[in-house]
Structure 1
Amino acid sequence: MTEAHKGSCHCGAVAYEVDMSLDGLIECNCSHCCRKGFVLGFVQPHAFRLTADGPQTEYLFHNHSIRHRFCETCGVQTFARGTTPDGSEMVAVNVRTLTDVEPFSWTATRVDGRSF
């Protein structure tokens, strides 16, 4: 079920609202996601709204199809923007940055991103 959620980085300089379901979350073992401990949910851009657009920087790696954004002050990556394999725009939300969801109240499917 899709619900409205709020999230932010640790210092609050970057905050957002997102309409998303906590079903279908993934935990990837690629070198990036694994090291940062991400649990990701994917939404279409219209379902994601920045409410505090503090200073951010961008990190690109692998094929540069996902623009990983993180707060320049506290270093937390709340979301990334990119495209799906079919070319559709998407936002990848770091579920661990949702401020209105109890940690570990969700289930994520483990994905072998290391092999891609």
Structure 2
Amino acid sequence: MSNPTSAQSTLSPGLRTYKGSCQCGAVRFEIDFDPSNGTTRCNCTICTKTAWWGVHVKPDAFRLLSGGEVLGDYSRHEAMHARFCKVCGIRVFGHGDIPELGGAFYSANLNCLDGANLSGIQIKYLDGLHDTWEQLAVAPYVDPFSARAAAPHPTA
């Protein structure tokens, strides 16, 4: 079990730098974002089937630190590129240029952040399936693993 004091708390406002990686560690990145601005989940087929949970930032707030040579690229259309590690298969980040989302952006897979506690961060659910990017709902993230760790263990 990870040490909860080593996890980065994300609920207080302010721009922070987060580090992330794929499962095997071949692809590593940094991203600057303010967790109080919320995150996104999209209902398009690629995001749904890969359980994508992202945060959108301007291109200068994302830095690929290593692994460019092992990145694969999946594109549903020219406006969006889903980048994944060809070693372990994890979808690490994406980038594109979608006017409805504010133009050019990078989006990191928040499931790939190292040591970040995201409990309570707002998730905006977007309609990418129909390319409207309309906000469908907003809800706070609840980490099911932290909730289980905090619950009393049944006695045998």
Q: Which residue of 2 aligns with 1:98?
A: 113
Unaligned runs of 5+ in 2: 1-13, 132-156
What do you get for the CA RMSD once the two structures are aligned? Answer: 1.7
Looking at CA atoms only, which structure, 1 or 2, has the larger radius of gyration? Answer: 2
| Aligned-residue offset at 1:82 | 0.7
After superposition, the C-alpha distances for 1:51-107 in whole angstroms (9 at most, x for unaligned) are: 11251110011x321111100010011111111316732101111111131254522
Q: Which residue of 2 aligns with 1:11?
A: 24
Code of the aligned partner of 2:63: R
Tell me how far apart the structure 1 counterparts of residues 79 and 48 of structure 2 sit (CA, whole Å). 18
Which of the pair is proportionally richer in helix?
2
Unaligned runs of 5+ in 1: none
Tell me how far apart the structure 2 counterparts of residues 29 and 60 of structure 1 sit (CA, whole Å). 16
1:84 matches 2:84:
no
If the length of structure 1 is used for normalisation, what is the TM-score?
Answer: 0.88
Decide whether the 8 Å contact of 1:27 with 1:108 is kept in 2. yes
If the length of structure 2 is used for normalisation, what is the TM-score?
Answer: 0.67
Q: Which residue of 1 aligns with 2:85?
A: 71
Code of the aligned partner of 2:87: T
| Secondary structure, aligned partner of 1:37 | coil
Decide whether the 8 Å contact of 2:38 with 2:121 is kept in 1. no
- The aligned length equals 115
